[in-house]
Amino acid sequence: MAVKVEIDLAYEFAVKAKADQVFDLLSDVPRSVSHFPKVHKLTDLGGGVYQWEMEKVGTAQVHLQTVYACKYASHRAKGTVTWTPVKGVGNAQVSGGWKIHDRKTSTGIELAIQGVMDVPLPGLMKMVVVPVVESEFEKLVDKYIANLVKALGGEA
C-alpha cells in the first residue's frame, strides 16, 4: 500500500540578471538541475526527457527515494520552460513551468510545480507522512530558488 502525497507550489521572485541569461540557465535542464539540492542522478533519456533520481532519505532499514521523468519544452519568445510527467517512470508524476518576464532593470520569474508522489507506507501513516513530505519538498525548492538567485546575480 502507498500513501499519495500531492504537491502544488507557486513562487514569484526577481533577479538582477537579464531575461536572456535567465532563460539560458532555466532552459538548460542539466545546468538548472545542478542547482537543485539532493539530486542523486539526472539522466538524459533523449527527446527532451530527463529522469530525476533524488537522494535516498531515511535509515538503512527504511528509506524512500523519489524517481520520476519529465519531458521539457522551452520557448524563448514566450519566455517559458515547461515540463510534463512521463507516465510509468518511477514513483512520482511532476509537472510545472517557469515564466520569465523582462522588466528592463530586472527579470521577473514565476515557478509553478505540481506533483503526486507515491510513498510506500501504510495508509495509517498518511497523517504523519504527508506533512513531512510536503515540508521537505518545499524546503528543497526554497533552496533551489536561493541557489538560482545566487547564480543569477542576486535578487532584484
Share of the chain above pLDDT 90, in %: 79
Residues ≥6 apart with Cβ < 8 Å to 25:
31, 32, 148, 151, 152
Q: Is the pLDDT of residue 50 over 70?
A: yes
pLDDT at 85: 98
Q: Is the pLDDT of residue 127 over 90?
A: no
Map out the domains of the chain as residue ranges: 3-38+72-151
Which CATH number applies to 3-38+72-151? 3.30.530.20
Where is average pLDDT lowest: 2-11, 32-41, 59-68?
59-68
**Contact in structure between 28 and 35 (CB atoms under 8 Å):** no
Q: For residue 3, give the 3-state DSSP assignment.
A: strand
Q: Is the pLDDT of residue 3 over 80?
A: yes
Where is average pLDDT lowest: 35-39, 61-65, 112-116, 143-147?
61-65
Q: Is the pLDDT of residue 115 over 80?
A: yes
pLDDT at 49: 98
Q: How confident is the model at residue 91 (pLDDT cuts 50, 70, 90)?
A: very high
